[in-house]
Chains A and B, each alone.
Chain A
Amino acid sequence: MAHVTLVHGIANKPPADTLAGLWERALAEDDGLDLGAEGISTTMVYWADVLYPSPAEGTLERADDTTLLDDPGEGWLEGTSQPERAWLDSFARALPLDEEVAPLPATGSAEGYERVLLPAWVKQRLMRTLLRDVHHYLFNSRHTPRPGEQFDVRDEIRARMLGALREGAGEPGPHVVVSHSMGTVIAYDCLKRVEGCPPVDGLVTIGSPLGIEEIPLQLRPGWSRRDGFPYGTLHGPWINIFDPLDPVVGALPAVARLYRRAGDDVVVDVRQQNWGRWRHDIAKYLHGPELRAELARLLRV
């Protein structure tokens, strides 16, 4: 039977089993795609514990409730290098948030950051969470989420991703990666740049910041404008689902232009309209008919 490797996105999350159950239930609700009933196995690449001290408390109605974003604060900026801060500044500017964000101060001190004009409280949290999580992965920061535990963030998450992909490779039937938000960066990075990464039969990226150019620029060597597609490991389609009002996908959410194969656009960008104010919510994406149809096709359901 088919197998799906799930990769979650930014911000703290409930425990791994709960999170996987939330994803599957959101996908199955309202006569949707019921992976369990179809006999399709899943593995969740859980990495929230690499960056956050403990799982999110309580029972979430949605897997990505913004009111529960654990604020990473600003202390992590200390110790970042000048090139890193320049990258962060550039990345922050690329996010289509409607309030002007001043550049980070030259010293990189937290005190200077506090004086920056940040958006409303949700966007502030989003900004800090997104910047911190993405930065720590792309720059392989050393992070201590809990006393006594320390990770080189990208190395640790890559190891978990590869382990999950190997698990899926052992299953008969198509193996599809379904990733959301920062999870799409993880998935792409591993498929494109990690030696020994097992092949997969399909890639679905959801609410992905991969269309923000600052990100693939940090995924070199590996990525190039002409040959960004991970053809060595992705033996099937790459479907990119985006809601243009999702703040995480950037101003140009279609990614085909950045991940070409021999200069050709091969990624299938699919626009989906979620609802409400927070369009980045994975549960909303999983409810979408467009995503469900594409995933069902990849899984041959």
Chain B
Amino acid sequence: MSTDHDHGTGLVAPLATAAAHYDQDGASRQCHRLVELLRTDEDRVPVADVLLILRHLREKRWFHLSAAVAEAALERAEADEAAVLPIRLHYAQALIEQGLHLAAVAVLERLLERRPSPDDAAECRGLLGRAYKQMFVVSAPSRRHRPLRRAIELYDHVYRTDPDRFLWHGINSTALVQRAAVEGIAVDDLPPAVPTAEAILAVIERRSADPDLDPDVWDLATAMEACLVLGREEEAATWMEAYMAHPRADTFELTATLRQLEEIWCFDAGRSPGATLLPRLQARILAGRDGGRIELRADEVAETGIGLEKVLGQEGMVTYAWYRTGLHRGRAVAAIADEFGEPVGTGFLVLARDLHPDLAPHGTVLLTNSHVVGVDVPGALALEDARVTFEVRSAETSGATTHRVAEVLWTSPPHLLDTSILRLDPTPDADGDSCPLTAACPRTDGTQRVYVIGHPQGRSLSFAIADNLLLDRDDRALHYRAPTEPGSSGSPVFNRRWQVIALHHAGRSDMPRLHGQAGTYPANEGIWIEAVRRALAAAMTRTPDVTADGPL
């Protein structure tokens, strides 16, 4: 049980208990209550309580919750900027962790304009460095130069202010300089990597040798990375063991390290040193931790012998059957590209009769956004240019089967329902593969998750199965958190029973709230599938052969 002192909300202890048990459902409920309190009875919510809660949420990597709490806390008029600066930093970190890098940059740069204390400025710059680092990771090769250099500048700036203290910033700068060399980006004007790594390692070794000092968890991870810079792989593995064994090495710390090794060092489990470091780190994270996203290659999904029974988040143990059903849904999901193979979006198969009985003769059809494949939609693929490929089915047949779009059976423009129903050529032989639809919509009480399968950035089939809470809904759309990216447009959004409830179509850091509520928040938006069916039914009633959606 937590020993945190509750300053008045009565929510800190229950949330701490939920966090201790990895009970994300319970934590979500407490956060729901806190957000309501912040919006209706702000005098009852001391900043100290908010910060305690944010700390717990960060430790468990429940960033969608911390973003919601931080945003609600920052909505209040707060005279004491110094008191709320830590909340802004939590908010920025939550934005970064959810892939909303530009939004985080905006928040942090504004914080720096207010001339915070040196320590706070260092933290701001560190987070900025992180934001730019992530932007570098997700940028196309031709656009990586600027965010990479900016990240190095920021990290190095902080490190040089106190090299004995800001080791984490120093190793980040150093690792990125190494990466710059690999990327072929000119590094002569950048701080040299090897001397910096040697200096960092020397500080940590000196501290570790002091019997009066307890090793800091980040020092251990930093030492591991310094050894990697210096090519000392065996020593790196030893530091890794010490790091994982540290009592404060929790989900947040371990996942950050894993991400660093995969994204910056480009390690994989197939070759050294990734073969030594990654599997142990991954196992440590998955053994009872939350916040996981699994990206599978198409051939991995095609294999039927995968045993994926793992503990994920507040659901606790989920069954192998549940995973198998999810994997099976992957068979119905397609990547949509242009005639040159440039990825544009995602689509998925449904039975035409499930959309409207009169469409039954069309058998299996593809659902996607009209801003992906549309009629007279600026920026959308024209029918003749679209290429639809089912990666899993292709992997099973040892050859890509690409479909063209034969016909648009119905479409609704992006500003309405952003949906296109497409007949493919050839018609997929999809017995049993199409995604079932449901009219029921899950509760929006902060306990329900959605699951998205798609092709973010045109990459391999990706399953978003954590950090994906359903936030709100109205008669047209659902709002949810999920780690989607450009290219996910047109993805199916599933409920816990792997039934389609929405068609994913947008993600924004400033998504306008529903129900006429003021303000925005970071959220993804999917078009409620029942809204699509109703609009289609209305259109079919007006004109049986209609292909375009009239005014709703």
Contacts and interface: CB of A to CB of B under 8 A. Distances in A.
Contacts of B377: none
7 contacts: A17-B14, A21-B447, A34-B497, A37-B495, A37-B496, A37-B497, A39-B441
B498 to A, nearest CB: 10
A40 B443 contact: yes
B319 A30 contact: yes
Q: What bracket does the count of chain B residues touching chain A fall in? A: 20 to 34
A18 B23 contact: yes
A198 to B, nearest CB: 21
B129 interface: no
A149 interface: no
Contacts of B17: 15
A37 B497 CA distance: 7
Contacts of B321: 30-31
A39 B440 contact: yes
A34 B325 CA distance: 16
A301 B438 CA distance: 11
Contacts of A25: 315-316
Nearest to B30: A17
Contacts of B26: 15, 17-18, 21
Given A17-B25, A37-B495, A39-B443, 13 more contacts: A17-B14, A17-B29, A18-B23, A21-B25, A21-B314, A21-B447, A25-B315, A30-B321, A31-B321, A36-B442, A37-B496, A39-B440, A39-B441
B394 interface: no
Contacts of A18: 21, 23, 26
A41 B445 CA distance: 9
Contacts of A37: 440, 442, 448, 495-497, 499
B496 A28 contact: yes
A38 interface: yes
A59 B496 contact: no
Which 10 A/B pairs are nearest by Cβ-Cβ distance? A37-B495, A37-B496, A38-B440, A17-B26, A36-B448, A37-B442, A39-B441, A21-B25, A39-B440, A36-B443
Nearest to B315: A25
A59 B21 contact: yes
Contacts of A34: 495-497
Interface in B304-342: 314-316, 319, 321
B316 A31 contact: no
A41 B442 CA distance: 9
Contacts of A17: 14, 18, 25-26, 29
Contacts of B495: 34, 37
**Interface footprint category on A:** 10 to 19
Q: Which of A29, A38, A40 has the most CB of B within 10 A?
A: A38
Contacts of B440: 37-39, 301
Interface string B436-465: 000011110101100000000000000000
A222 to B, nearest CB: 35
Nearest to B316: A25
Contacts of B443: 36, 39-41
A39 B442 CA distance: 4
A188 to B, nearest CB: 28
Contact of B497 (A21, A31, A39, A59): A31
A31 B497 CA distance: 7
Contacts of B23: 18, 21
Contacts of A21: 23, 25-26, 314, 447
Contacts of A31: 321, 497
Interface string A169-206: 00000000000000000000000000000000000000
Interface string B203-215: 0000000000000
A285 B20 CA distance: 29
A24 to B, nearest CB: 8
Contacts of B442: 36-39
A31 B315 CA distance: 14
Nearest to B448: A36
Contacts of A40: 443
A286 to B, nearest CB: 15
A273 B319 CA distance: 23
Contacts of B14: 15, 17
Contacts of B497: 31, 34, 37
B50 to A, nearest CB: 20
A19 B346 CA distance: 39
A50 to B, nearest CB: 19
A36 B447 contact: yes
Contacts of B314: 21
Interface in A17-76: 17-18, 21, 25, 28-31, 34, 36-41, 59
Interface string B9-32: 000001001100101011001000
B230 to A, nearest CB: 44
B351 to A, nearest CB: 20
Interface in A271-301: 301
A28 B322 CA distance: 12
A240 to B, nearest CB: 27
Contacts of A38: 440, 442
Contacts of B316: 25
Nearest to B318: A29
A59 B26 CA distance: 13
Contacts of B448: 36-37
Nearest to A30: B319
A18 B442 CA distance: 19
Contacts of B445: 41
B287 to A, nearest CB: 15
A229 B495 CA distance: 38
B238 to A, nearest CB: 34
A205 B335 CA distance: 50
Nearest to B28: A17
A59 B14 CA distance: 14
Contacts of B319: 29-30
Nearest to A29: B319
Among B14, B315, B321, B442, chain A packs the most CB atoms within 10 A around the CB of B442
B417 to A, nearest CB: 20
A40 B441 CA distance: 9
B486 to A, nearest CB: 28
A38 B495 CA distance: 9
A25 B448 CA distance: 12
